[in-house]
Chains A and B, each alone.
Chain A
Amino acid sequence: MKRREFIKTGALLVVGTTAAASTLIASADTTPALAVLSPHQAQTLLRMSQLIFPHKRIGDAPYWKVVADLDAAAKADPAVAKLMAQGVAQLDRSAGGKFVGLGKKRQVALLKAIDKGLFFQKVRGVELTTLYSDPAVWKALGYPGGSYRYGGYLHRGFDDLAWLPNPPESASPKPA
């Protein structure tokens, strides 16, 4: 399967696919087997990704996929591995201990302080494509994904909105 790419803030981010990531995940809420990231780094990145795009409805599994994709990116590119290691270490230094041990308010403040930097941007960029390409996240947020296999919406509610009057046929003709 093709890698996902997205161009963001000065760097071409290459993200491992969620398909690759999902094979690394033993079960929904446990730590995946990781190639490069240490358990502590993974926990820190997990927490970070939960704070960047927080959704109460989706549990931990979609965020673990983000961590798995960051691990895949780190495995593919030593520069990314270094960026992750240094980023986590810097967050811990700023926390005066372990970032993951702080309260949410303090964690958000520490992330705000680094959100223009390469480390944060890399994590956010990977998370943006991984999290919002995850069918579990689509389902939780009310997006059904592809429609072709169901024949589109022609007979499945493309014009079913009932809380406003229908436009006249001159503006909106009937379907064929």
Chain B
Amino acid sequence: MARYAANDDSVVVIIGSGAGGGTLANELCHKGLKVVLLEAGSQQSPATFHNDEWFAFNQLAWLDKRTASGSWRVAKDFPNLPAWVCKTVGGTTVHWAGASLRIQEHEFKAKTHYGAVEGTTLMDWPLTLAELEPYYARAESKMGVTRTNGIPGLPGNNNFKVMYNGATRVGYKTVHTGRMAINSRPREGRSACWQLGFCFQGCKSGAKWSTLYTEIPKADATGRLDLRPESMALQIQHDTGGKVSGVLYADKDGKHQVQKARIVCVAGNSIETPRLLLNSASSKFPHGLANSSGQVGRNYMRHTTGSVFGIFKQPVHMYRGTVMAGIIQDEAPLDTRRGFAGGFEMETISLGLPFAAAFLNPGAWGEDYTALLEQYPNMAGMWIVGEDMPQAGNAVTLHPTEKDQFGLPIPNVHYDDHANDLAMRNYAFKKGADVYKAVGATRTIEVPPYPSTHNLGTCRQSEKPADGVCNKFGQTHDVKNLFISDGSQFTSSAAENPTLTIVTLAIRQADYIADQCGKRNI
């Protein structure tokens, strides 16, 4: 592990060690750059993960106080937990399910294909699928995505068997165990999947790709990585010329430190990233860093989600095996005849009994609810993940009064469901129920969205500086040595689970940063 001096202003400081930050760190280290990787959370490992939902939640989740507002049901059910993301080395790649899908060509041109959807801030991305394809290929190889690079798909579990039979009976054609960044065969020193059923709690077999035990140790092996866990970034500082010059952070003892930097890359996930830029306001940048457009924090997207569970006469044991190795893709392509813009994927999901009780109907109690829970062994489940609409008012803002343990304003996450989101969710609920009814479900239940795991769009890429925060390389329009390196960059949400695209953008950003450094442009 490298150790750089606080006043070494030749380093790249990356804030956040998840899909974006962890990948970027590895790529930059391999290009010979010096990297300080600040991570707010502590370091765990497969050995310290637990097959226990509440234990893992407390061990891994970001639990610093946040507030939620808006018409989404999460604001009512989980007013202090708008997002279910991680605060640990590896970020949310410790918790993610592994689904690795490329964004479709038309989704990069959302405005062109969907038209001006009223009440939205829909735009085309400043880049195309063709530009990203070589980087997608690199990401899939790096992550070992099944059904790419000659890697076989995962074997389907019981939950998938129910999905497959139901889906094919209602006429769906593209149904398989998915493109998953979970080893179906041993690869790169990591084992094949053990079918543990605890993907969300940190993968104890190490079969699931996470920056914690792939990108970060590989970066470390170059001798150029200085990883600093339990280091919470508080403010990005700048010089009189308006370039960023360093990062103020609180170390594990709560002591303030400043690390000087040549370049700063922010990858704190779509709530902390805009919060940090807003909390970095100065006399030169009174509305926050990189915010001359006023777009920092806006256009927050979280995917149109929901779950459908089916109850059957015979056992399913959905909790056994890879949680999300099952997908129906027939509703994802461009099809505007359904009464809404955008598409959705249907993916297997399961919850252990503790989380089933918490999430199947948040707030419910009494005999009807416990009668449902007593059907637990006979349940099958799927998650709906679809494109949601960016809206100017859906935003991460600084709370006017509440402060965190460092004295900084906490974030509020506001989200109003758009009519398009509601239309898609209701349609998808019905389609999901049809799948389970086709194989004899005695009852289907529609489960409202969980706290958001896909947080997107709050520092979006745009062609014109007035429309967004960064360009197609994630470089902020206002500050050329400041980069956005996580899902905050997304111009639109698309229907796909975002991690593969976040990794892809990070690989591409690393190439750009190295190139620009070589040319002395930054």
Q: A residues touching B (Cβ–Cβ < 8 Å)?
A: 2-10, 12, 51-55, 57, 108, 115, 124, 128-129, 131-133, 137-138, 141-149, 151-154, 156-161, 163-167, 170-176
Closest to B354 in A: A132
Q: With the chains together, A156 CA to B177 CA distance in Å?
A: 19
- Report the stretch among B6-14, B50-58, B479-487 that lies at the interface: B50-58
- Does B32 have its Cβ within 8 Å of any Cβ on chain A? no
Contact B50–A6 (Cβ < 8 Å)? no
Given contacts A172-B160, A172-B177, contact A128 B358 (CB under 8 A): yes
Name the interface residues of B261-285: CB closer than 8 Å to any CB of A: none
Task: List 16 contacting pairs A-B, 8 Å CB cutoff, sorted by A.
Answer: A2-B58, A7-B79, A9-B363, A52-B366, A132-B356, A133-B54, A146-B50, A148-B198, A153-B196, A153-B197, A158-B157, A158-B158, A160-B158, A164-B162, A172-B155, A173-B152
- Does B370 have its Cβ within 8 Å of any Cβ on chain A? yes
Contact B197–A152 (Cβ < 8 Å)? yes
B392 to chain A, nearest CB (A): 27
Given contacts A146-B50, A161-B161, contact A5 B156 (CB under 8 A): no
- Report the stretch among B222-230, B286-294, B313-321, B422-430 that lies at the interface: B313-321
The listed residue (B51, B175, B376) touching A145 by CB distance below 8 A is: B51
Closest to B362 in A: A8
Contact A147–B198 (Cβ < 8 Å)? yes
A123 to chain B, nearest CB (A): 10
Given contacts A167-B156, A167-B165, contact A52 B365 (CB under 8 A): yes
Q: Which residues of A contact B81 (CB under 8 A)?
A: 7
Contact B196–A164 (Cβ < 8 Å)? no
- Does B352 have its Cβ within 8 Å of any Cβ on chain A? yes
Q: With the chains together, A51 CA to B368 CA distance in Å?
A: 11
A73 to chain B, nearest CB (A): 15
- Apart from A143-B353, A145-B352, what are 14 other A-B pairs with CB-CB below 8 Å? A2-B58, A2-B59, A8-B78, A10-B79, A142-B377, A147-B196, A153-B194, A158-B320, A158-B321, A159-B321, A167-B175, A172-B176, A173-B152, A176-B185
- Does B31 have its Cβ within 8 Å of any Cβ on chain A? no
The listed residue (B80, B192, B369) touching A176 by CB distance below 8 A is: B192
Q: Which residues of A contact B439 (CB under 8 A)?
A: 164
Q: Which residues of A contact B356 (CB under 8 A)?
A: 132
Given contacts A4-B58, A7-B81, contact A171 B165 (CB under 8 A): no
Contact A6–B358 (Cβ < 8 Å)? yes
Contact B320–A153 (Cβ < 8 Å)? yes
- Does B154 have its Cβ within 8 Å of any Cβ on chain A? yes
Closest to B154 in A: A173
Interface string of B372-388 (1 = CB under 8 A from A): 01101100000000000
Q: With the chains together, A9 CA to B75 CA distance in Å?
A: 9
Tally of A-B residue pairs with Cβ under 8 A?
Answer: 176
- Does B367 have its Cβ within 8 Å of any Cβ on chain A? yes
The listed residue (B58, B194, B370) touching A152 by CB distance below 8 A is: B194
Q: With the chains together, A167 CA to B198 CA distance in Å?
A: 23
Q: With the chains together, A71 CA to B428 CA distance in Å?
A: 44
Given contacts A55-B370, A143-B353, contact A152 B161 (CB under 8 A): no
Q: With the chains together, A10 CA to B363 CA distance in Å?
A: 13
A49 to chain B, nearest CB (A): 10
Q: B residues touching A (Cβ–Cβ < 8 Å)?
A: 50-52, 54-55, 57-59, 63, 65, 77-81, 152-158, 160-162, 164-165, 175-177, 184-186, 192-198, 204-205, 314-317, 319-321, 352-354, 356-358, 363, 365-367, 369-370, 373-374, 376-377, 439
A122 to chain B, nearest CB (A): 13
The listed residue (A3, A144, A149, A170) touching B176 by CB distance below 8 A is: A170
Given contacts A129-B54, A158-B320, contact A141 B165 (CB under 8 A): no
Q: With the chains together, A143 CA to B355 CA distance in Å?
A: 12
Q: Which residues of A contact B58 (CB under 8 A)?
A: 2-5
B122 to chain A, nearest CB (A): 32
A30 to chain B, nearest CB (A): 24
Contact B153–A10 (Cβ < 8 Å)? no
Contact A148–B63 (Cβ < 8 Å)? no
Given contacts A145-B51, A171-B175, contact A54 B370 (CB under 8 A): yes
Q: With the chains together, A51 CA to B77 CA distance in Å?
A: 21
B329 to chain A, nearest CB (A): 12
Given contacts A143-B353, A159-B321, contact A151 B194 (CB under 8 A): yes
Q: With the chains together, A149 CA to B196 CA distance in Å?
A: 10
The listed residue (A7, A55, A144) touching B80 by CB distance below 8 A is: A7
Contact B376–A143 (Cβ < 8 Å)? yes
Contact B192–A152 (Cβ < 8 Å)? no
Closest to A123 in B: B365
A170 to chain B, nearest CB (A): 7
Given contacts A4-B54, A143-B353, contact A53 B196 (CB under 8 A): no
Q: With the chains together, A2 CA to B356 CA distance in Å?
A: 22
Given contacts A153-B197, A161-B316, A173-B184, contact A132 B365 (CB under 8 A): no
Q: Which residues of A contact B175 (CB under 8 A)?
A: 167, 171
Given contacts A145-B52, A146-B51, contact A12 B370 (CB under 8 A): no
